[in-house]
Chains A and B, each alone.
Chain A
Amino acid sequence: MAKQVFSVKGMHCSACVMTLEGLEDELAGIRSLKVSLHKQRAEIEYDEKKISEDEIRRAFERAGYGLARA
């Protein structure tokens, strides 16, 4: 299990936070996903065996947001 803090680009309001936190339910292997609009960061705890960092990044991009290691 890995825990990583990422910086998120493209968030404008709390609705964006809700959209991104919804990925927690959609992506297998993500244990928790906490997004802060104020800090523009996402704290993600995930199972590396089930999902890679790159797959998470791509999921964020599909939702219209950028993700990079903080």
Chain B
Amino acid sequence: MSLDPSSNLLGLAFITGVTTGGLSCLAVQAGLLATSVARQAETDVAAQLAIKHVVAQRKKRSNRKLTKEQRRSERAALATLAQPEKPKRRNAATPIALFLSAKLVAYTVLGVFLGWLGSVLQLSPYSRAALQIGIGIFMLGTAARLFNLHPIFRYFVIEPPRFITRFVRRYAKNNASTVATPLFLGTLTIFIPCGVTQAMMVLAVGTGSPLLGAAIMFAFILGTTPVFFGLAYVATRLGEVLHTRFLRVAGAVVLILGLVSIEGGLNLMGSPYSVSNLLNSAAVSIAEASGNYQDVAAAQPDANGAITIQASNGGYSPNLIKAPTGKPVSLTVVTSGTTGCTRGFVIPSIGFQRSLPETGQITISIPASAANGNLRYTCSMGMYSGYFEFA
């Protein structure tokens, strides 16, 4: 198992947060924020009502002439009532910052737990592949729900228990501390994740690593923060309009994540039907059919059955090795300053998985019994792969 954060995945999580995540939960979380500073809002409303009342009174009395003293006292009343609004707008940044900071910390801690959960569930490359494919299917269902393809896809949302949502709602309404309430509510948002957030959570489980799980959740929530912070000032209705518009974007992003997850799962299983393996096979077939063997980056073991491959951040080279059937192979995997997920090296069909050193090498013995057909190797996330072709 590799504990190295995959920069691709983290970048994707961050971009998802920036583009869709902030908007996806904005409506309710902005509402929670607003209620967390409820006293201020209520004072605003009260002030506005009082101003209206004074203006109405003034209109009523417009027929009779007011004394200078009466006019002065009315102007003073209006000025006093209108005053509190300005400092409140400035102070609004503090609870929002507290809320978002608490949310970031809470989701990062949740990411540690989810990654740990994934590592507990990860018993073998096959069980991990099944988990990853399951996650991919959940994401495809989530995408279909976001595209509103069919009502059945609504069941891909995990609804938190009613008592939790009720508690969060009522706490927000009844507590108006400017420090504790936003912090607490920010933490509580982990119980009411939106669709895209849920997709990120299952992705964190799929990493099978507490560190990477935390990193994914951190990147995603960090990505949502600027959008959220900016739009928290804007009226909720605008948030909803944008929300509706961005649902399709969110659907597209989750769809891609789902396909990537299934692809990874198939690679982890050593399946020839993953897109990358199908493309590799097609490229080899085309090159062989056209006689351009030099196009195929195939390597062969030496006379002693030894072969070396390089594991870099961009994949494995060579990713196709041709070897004779029934003869054992001594495979050496070399790393040199490798920090990506290729360090988690897996050969599913012989049950091999090991974390490679950042710089160094390991040698794996592939027994004669496994030297037949195609033998696939992959990174622990199924993102990069290659194979032996025994003939």
Contact = CB atoms under 8 A, between A and B. Distances in A.
Interface in A14-41: 14-19, 21-22, 25, 37-38, 40
9 contacts: A12-B243, A13-B194, A14-B158, A14-B160, A14-B165, A15-B192, A18-B168, A19-B27, A21-B166
B240 A64 contact: yes
Contacts of A17: 159, 165
Contacts of B169: 18, 21-22, 25
Interface of A: 10, 12-19, 21-22, 25, 37-38, 40, 64
A17 B210 CA distance: 31
Contact of B194 (A12, A22, A38): A12
Given A37-B159, A40-B154, A64 B165 contact: no
Closest 10 CB pairs of A and B: A15-B28, A64-B240, A18-B165, A13-B194, A38-B154, A14-B159, A22-B169, A13-B195, A19-B28, A15-B192
A21 B164 CA distance: 12
Interface of B: 24-25, 27-29, 31, 146, 151, 154-155, 157-160, 162, 165-166, 168-170, 173, 192-195, 236-237, 240, 243-244, 247
A17 B158 CA distance: 12
Given A19-B31, A37-B157, A40-B151, A14 B192 contact: yes
Nearest to B169: A22
B247 A12 contact: yes
Given A13-B24, A21-B165, A64 B157 contact: no
A21 B167 CA distance: 12
Nearest to A65: B240
A62 to B, nearest CB: 9
Contacts of B166: 21
Given A25-B173, A37-B154, 18 more contacts: A12-B24, A12-B194, A12-B247, A13-B194, A14-B165, A15-B25, A15-B28, A15-B192, A17-B165, A18-B169, A19-B27, A22-B31, A22-B169, A38-B157, A40-B154, A64-B27, A64-B236, A64-B237
